[in-house]
Amino acid sequence: MKMYIPVPTKFISSFTEALPFDVYVERSEGIYTAIYKKNSSHDEKQLARYEEKNIKNLFISRNDKLEFENFLINLNDLEHYEKTHIIEILKASLELNFEYLDFASQELQTNLELATQNVKNSLYLLENDLQMAMDIFKSLASSSHLLKHSYMVSLFSIVLAKRLGMKTERVILAIGLGGLLHDIGQTRMDQALFLKNNLSAKDWEEIKDHPQLGLKILDHNNCINTEVRSIIIQHHEQFNGRGYPNRLHNNQIFPPAKIVAIADGFCSLISLTSYRKTNKTPKEAIEIMRDDLGHYDPDYLEIFAAMVLQSKELK
């Protein structure tokens, strides 16, 4: 696991107040030294020297994840930051939420790591409305697991999309952003719903509103294209027509939404949540998804299964 996350040197130099986390420099490969402690100020001349030496990135520790997320949630004045710095803040928040899974397949591990760059690139689709982008990420980060889940769904969705031959930049960026935002509607709901062990029929009906709520949140954002919106509204539609909100059948469902649905189901099953105290192995998750006949596109699911059923437990 990467214990240190890169952030641009210029991003650190843009702080006008005390730093909310420790900052490190990589002295040599894999060797990090703290140069600024939390609640201290940066040294502009020192940062300028780093720039002269072509040191473009400094680092924050993964152990400072909570401090970084608090910084993100409390960040209100964006005027002190350049546009690229805001994108870098969002990129760092995603990297801190990356969960390194133990897959024996080096190909899958590599593809997941490569997908991180695709997801980060998708953030540039939001650059024309950075205030909304920041508000979105604040909402996701305010949940104990939603930002992490959204990022993992985005990564697995991109890897599956590429395996299916969807490789154009427009499609990959839409899937990356659609995966990140697929559950954004949940941030407008009573979070107590997601802490319950047993949901009532009324609770389920309320939860089923989150795709529409997601579109309402993004309604006035011209940065969000039709493809991303289709993923958000359709990621709970089912192959057999029993999904929601519009009971679409197989060919009526936008293919990237089918992909995100599979990644969403898989990541939910393999992760611990407030309402699920034990997580499933990749093999168990795939078996559960296969048994849920008609829920997922069967062809897409089998290709996804071939990707992930190479974990060490199966060897």
pLDDT in tens, 182-213: 999 999 998 888 878 788 999 999 999 999 99
Mean pLDDT across 153-182: 96
Residue 255 pLDDT > 90: yes
Domain total of the chain: 1
* 139-163: average pLDDT: 92
Mean pLDDT of 250-271: 96
The answer to whether position 16 is within a domain reads no
> Is residue 12 assigned to a domain?
no
Mean pLDDT throughout 236-249?
A: 97
Residue linked to tokens 């699920």: 276
From 5-9, 34-38, 44-48, 152-156, the region with the lowest mean pLDDT: 5-9
- Return all residues near 69 (Cβ < 8 A) that are at least 6 apart: 93, 96, 141, 147
Q: What is the mean pLDDT of residues 126-135?
A: 88
Domain range for residue 109? 97-314
Residue 114, domain member (yes or no): yes
Residue 295 lies in a domain: yes
- Beta carbons within 8 Å of 271's beta carbon, 6+ residues apart: 99, 145, 148, 149, 152, 279
- At residue 104, the pLDDT reads 59
- In-domain check, residue 293: yes
pLDDT given at position 314: 39
Question: For 35-49, what is the mean pLDDT?
Answer: 94
Identity at 42, one-letter amino acid code: H
Task: Tell me: pLDDT of 313 over 70.
Answer: no
- Does 247 or 5 have the greater pLDDT score? 247
pLDDT band for position 72 (cuts 50, 70, 90): confident
Q: What is the pLDDT of residue 285?
A: 94
What is the average per-residue pLDDT within 167-179?
Answer: 96
Instruction: Identify which of 125, 213, 242, 139 has the alpha carbon closest to the alpha carbon of residue 177.
Output: 125
Work out the average pLDDT over 57-63: 92
pLDDT at 276: 59
Other CB atoms within 10 A of residue 315 CB = 7
What mean pLDDT comes out for the span 236-248? 97
**Residue 85 forms part of a structural domain:** no
Share of the chain above pLDDT 90, in %: 60
| Mean pLDDT of the chain, nearest integer | 89
- Residue 127 belongs to domain with CATH number: 1.10.3210.10
Q: Is the pLDDT of residue 30 over 50?
A: yes
> Among candidates 261, 243, 260, 239, which has minimal Cα distance to 251?
239
Does the predicted model carry a pTM greater than 0.85? yes
Flag whether 290 is in a domain: yes
- Rounded CA-CA distance 302/295 in Å is 13
Residue 125 and residue 131 in contact, taking contact as beta carbons nearer than 8 Å = no
Q: How confident is the model at residue 277 (pLDDT cuts 50, 70, 90)?
A: low
